[in-house]
A and B are shown apart, each in its own frame.
Chain A
Amino acid sequence: MNNEELKARLGELLPAAVFEEGAEWVTMVIDPAAWKEFARQIRRDPGLEADYLFCVTCVDWKTHLTMVYHLTSTVHRHTLVVKAKLDRNDPEIVTVSDIWRTAEFHEREAYDLFGVKFKDHPDLRRLFMTDDWKGWPLRKDYEDSVNMIKL
């Protein structure tokens, strides 16, 4: 499917989604509460079949956090990007590790570096830092006078 058809189909599945312009792939911003149901639909829908999740990122935009999911389909060979805005003081979103098994590690990484909590994750704990590390290192307001030597 090309970008126009993709936009049309995705708009049918979730009318409340907002599409961003000017990007290489179809990019949409959705409400975090609707993520799980939408994820199931795009995985199963015969026209979309987005079965390969290849990148899960979190971006810290000083006022809020955004989760970005890059998905592609091995059947139809199209790519789409889903974003969800989270509240900075209590970032929470539902996990998709039961739909795409790769999300288990990626979500642990987002928890470790940004502090985003994933509901129903089978094993949510720190991945890279030691278990008793305080703070979320990749956030923009992370201060660490002991370890970080600023240039």
Chain B
Amino acid sequence: MDVDQQNKPAGTFPGEVHPTAGGGILVTKLDEVINWARSNSLWPLVFGTSCCAIEMMSTASAKYDWSRFGFEVARATPRQADVIIIAGTIVNKMAPVLKRLYDQMADPKYVIAMGACATSGGPFFYNTYSVVKGADHVIPVDVYIAGCPPRPEALLHALITLQEKIRGGGTREQIKIEKT
């Protein structure tokens, strides 16, 4: 997938610093600084239903370490989490629980659909009576990851893409705020 030119690459601080005597003057937009700060400190919610949860745990551990990117603290309660990574299949009985967790999260919140099951029902698409064919039937999703299960590198790529999307102002809440 392709990275939009207007998205800021990782590591650059938005704005210009003009050095003057006794310090400096920073010229920037407040929105950009807030987005930069938010994107570097997203805390995921501990939410894994099936096999993709094991790859998510591998991403959290020492070899692929996601805490380099700011996802250090995985919170168990949705009140303190910023991003929910839906790792696993969503079935009819679990869908109201997922909706309730999403509602309990405080704004601004983001959603990543990890794996084929959360994207579209995955291997359980045909001839099943209890699988929700895609988590976006329940809550709005920002980033989709393909794979069954996706490699930890794919999950890291998705996390970086989410960070770039936030910095570029492309998430649902930012678009909503701009329109009003």
Write the residues of chain A forming the contact surface with B, with a CB cutoff of 8 angstroms.
128-130, 137, 142, 144, 147-151
| B91 to chain A: closest residue by CB | A128
B127 & A151 in contact (Cβ 8 Å cutoff): yes
B92 & A130 in contact (Cβ 8 Å cutoff): yes
A130 & B127 in contact (Cβ 8 Å cutoff): no
Q: Does B64 contact A (CB under 8 A)?
A: no
Q: How far is the CA of A142 from the CA of B92 in the complex (A)?
A: 17
Write the residues of chain B forming the contact surface with A, with a CB cutoff of 8 angstroms.
92-93, 125-131, 133
Residues of A within 8 A of B128 (CB): 147-148
Q: How far is the CA of A144 from the CA of B128 in the complex (A)?
A: 10
User: Distance in Å from the Cβ of B165 to the closest Cβ of chain A?
Assistant: 31
Residues of A within 8 A of B93 (CB): 128-130
A147 & B126 in contact (Cβ 8 Å cutoff): no
A144 & B92 in contact (Cβ 8 Å cutoff): no
Q: How far is the CA of A56 from the CA of B93 in the complex (A)?
A: 24
| A150 to chain B: closest residue by CB | B127
Given contacts A128-B130, A148-B129, 17 further A-B contacts (CB under 8 A): A128-B93, A129-B93, A129-B130, A130-B93, A142-B129, A147-B92, A147-B129, A147-B130, A147-B131, A148-B127, A149-B125, A149-B127, A149-B133, A150-B126, A150-B127, A151-B126, A151-B127
The residue among A130, A142, A149 with the most chain B CB atoms within 10 A of its own CB is: A149
